[in-house]
Chain A
Amino acid sequence: AQKITQTQPGMFVQEKEAVTLDCTYDTSDPSYGLFWYKQPSSGEMIFLIYQGSYDQQNATEGRYSLNFQKARKSANLVISASQLGDSAMYFCAMREGRGNKLVFGAGTILRVKS
């Protein structure tokens, strides 16, 4: 079974609008972490935001927020006020336990239109 599912292969958003990128996960470990990374066309992996399974509040980092719904096992990334520079591939990833590897989803390509 897929550990991380990103159902949107590609998304378009108008500049200055908000966009939600979906991510669902599957784990039986009560301790886990969820990450979002951005991969621009240049190829590097840029850390955006992290949510721990025991965190009571949704994580936020500037224009990025994570809509964490534990019961539904979803960890959607919300980007507010989209900018042209947000056009990139976005990966959701999960770490089960501590010190362990990340398991990545297939990614969502986001295109911001002017």
Chain B
Amino acid sequence: EPEVTQTPSHQVTQMGQEVILRCVPISNHLYFYWYRQILGQKVEFLVSFYNNEISEKSEIFDDQFSVERPDGSNFTLKIRSTKLEDSAMYFCASQFGAADTQYFGPGTRLTVL
């Protein structure tokens, strides 16, 4: 069964460093999302991406964040200069059509020291 994959599973970085979180959505899916979950808290939406552009972003998704779909299969989230409060689990999700189910990847746990 096709699934969303994410790499790495765990990333440790120093404050101020850039990180790139990678996702491979399910191959025929058209809608892509990033969410984050700070430990013990609810899942929060970051950004949605459709037709090679951002369709919606949250207040969290400020200028430090960017997304890219560089090659038609990968979907990346870049954090330019990480802060301590960026420590969280980051989930990528994808769905085929506008009314379909979102399937989540296993997440990348980001720890900023």
Contacts and interface: CB of A to CB of B under 8 A. Distances in A.
A99 B101 contact: no
Contact of B109 (A43, A102, A105): A43
A102 B45 contact: yes
Please classify how large the interface on chain B is, using the bins under 10, 10 to 19, 20 to 34, 35 or more. Answer: 20 to 34
Nearest to A101: B45
A105 B42 contact: yes
Interface string A72-114: 0000000000000000000101010011111111110000000
A37 B109 CA distance: 19
Interface of B: 31, 33, 35, 41-45, 48, 50, 55-56, 58, 89, 91, 93, 95, 98-99, 101-107, 109
Interface residues of A, number: 23
A106 B42 CA distance: 5
B42 A91 contact: yes
B15 to A, nearest CB: 23
A45 interface: yes
